[in-house]
Amino acid sequence: MSFGEFLWSAAVLYFMFFYFMMLFRIVGDLFSDPEPSGIEKVGWILFLLLVPIVALFVYLIARGNGMTERALVKWKAQNAAQRA
């Protein structure tokens, strides 16, 4: 194995890890958000399964701000509970 092949393998592993982290984050956010209906959630999951990279970016563009706000509210609630 040459050094170039090693670098390529390392880059592929890094992006796979990054992709799966984002995928699990999106699926977790999707199921923790009470706003969308069950049909909408199923639609997002099917979209993520059929066209994964495109769906990931579309979800982040369409619902990214809400994702951040929900994470911030959750973090503040956990922080307040820990202080109490």
pLDDT tens string, the chain, 84 residues long: the values are: 899 999 999 999 999 999 999 999 999 999 988 888 999 999 999 999 999 999 999 999 998 888 888 889 889 999 999 998
Task: With beta carbons less than 8 A apart as the criterion, state whether 30 and 41 touch.
Answer: yes
Domain borders along the chain are 22-83
- The pTM score is 0.77
31 token code pair = 């199921």
- First CA to last CA distance, the chain: 56
CA distance 46 to 35: 18
For 27-46, letters b (16+ CB in 10 Å) and e give: eebbeeeeeeeeeeeeebee
